[in-house]
Amino acid sequence: MGEAILKREQVRDYLLELIETHPAGAPIPAERVLCQQLSVSRPTVRSAVEELVNTGLLVRQHGRGTFVARAKITQEMVSGPGSMSLPRASGTWASRVLEHARIPAGARVGRRLRLSPAAEIHYIARLRLVDGEPMALEHLHVPAAVAPSLTLHDMESGDFYDRLREHGVHVLEAVQSIEPTVVNESEASLLGVPVLAPALLFERLTTDADGRQVEYVHSIYRGDRYRIMSRLTLGASPRSTVDVQARIGGSGPF
């Protein structure tokens, strides 16, 4: 069997050559033509084309043809399995609960969670540590109406979203923003950095399958120890890799 030459791969490689040698927007041969040229069946051709369409190298247009795509850049950052708590970094994470209460949402949080300021929420503040060093300060808010019986243990659990699921909440997606900021006095003392030191502010709003806001997270990450790494791939990306990293020791290539 040694070779194990798959026709599908042959077709794909042939198409990759075409893509390399043709400018963006150029049409590639019709599927039925490719079948003849390469002596394969149409489903095989279609399968190969589909792969390249999925990776963004080709664009299909019904009734017109298939074309070399304009190169697009995709950037992927994948948090590890389990906790949806992006960002995630190498090293050993731990967390220390600073505060935990059931309180009214207030104006700021209520607006983000689309709640009345008087509506109750579960609130937890925790210091996140990497290898014993403070790395981030995280404030988590979950509407009490969403999960009335949520316990502290639930919120501390690594599989927080699995806990929510047990409470009948199916987490669907989240929108996250990242922006630079500087730490204030209390943040500085908790994180062990000088006041006004650079930091990253993460805000995340999580939505469930019913469209309800189920979580609002506000996190401050130390700028001197934390950076976001990402790999950008031009066009063909089989699967880009992770790389949200915490700098613990040396400074590395960057």
Partner DNA sequence: CCTGAGAAGTGGTCTATGCCACTTTCTACT
Partner DNA sequence: AGTAGAAAGTGGCATAGACCACTTCTCAGG
Q: Which long-range contacts (CB under 8 A, 24 or more apart) does 237-240 make?
A: 237/55, 237/56, 237/74, 237/76, 238/55, 239/76, 240/74, 240/75, 240/76, 240/78
* Residue 172 partner contact from DNA, a second copy, none using kind-dependent CB cut-offs of 5 to 8 Å: a second copy
Residue type, 15: L
- Candidate residues 21, 62, 63, 81; the one interacting with a second copy per rule CB under 8 A: 81
State yes or no: residue 72 binds a second copy (CB under 8 A): yes
Burial class (CB in 10 A: 0-12, 13-18, 19+), 119: middle
Q: Which of 29, 125, 181, 248 binds a second copy (CB under 8 A)?
A: 181
Instruction: Name which of 86, 202, 212 is nearest 146 in CA terms.
Output: 212
Name the residues that contact DNA, by CB under 7 A: 1, 6-9, 28, 30-33, 39-44, 46-47, 60-66
Q: How far is CA 56 from the centre of its chain?
A: 19
Q: Is 166 helix (H, G, I), strand (E, B) or coil?
A: helix
Is 66 in contact with 21 (CB distance < 8 Å)? no
Binding to a second copy in span 85-104, by CB under 8 A: 86
User: Which CB, 3 or 179, lies closer to DNA?
Assistant: 3
136 makes contact, choosing from a second copy, DNA, none, with CB < 5 to 8 Å by partner type, with: none
The reply on whether position 43 binds a second copy by CB under 8 A is yes
Tokens of 250: 């040396």
- Residue 19: closest CA among 61, 71, 74, 89: 71
User: Residue 254 corresponds to which tokens in the numbers above?
Assistant: 């960057």
Query: CB 161 → a second copy: shortest distance, Å?
Result: 7
Residue 65 vs 192, nearer CB to DNA: 65
Residue 133 binding target from a second copy, DNA, none, CB below 5 to 8 Å by type: none
**Piece in contact with a second copy (CB under 8 A), picked from 30-38, 90-98, 117-125, 228-236:** 228-236
Does 176 help bind a second copy (rule: CB under 8 A)? yes
Interacting partner of 44 out of a second copy, DNA, none (Cβ under 5 to 8 A depending on kind): DNA
The residues binding a second copy (CB under 8 A) are: 20, 43, 54, 70-79, 81-82, 84, 86, 112, 161, 170-182, 196, 198-200, 203-205, 223, 226-234, 243, 253-254
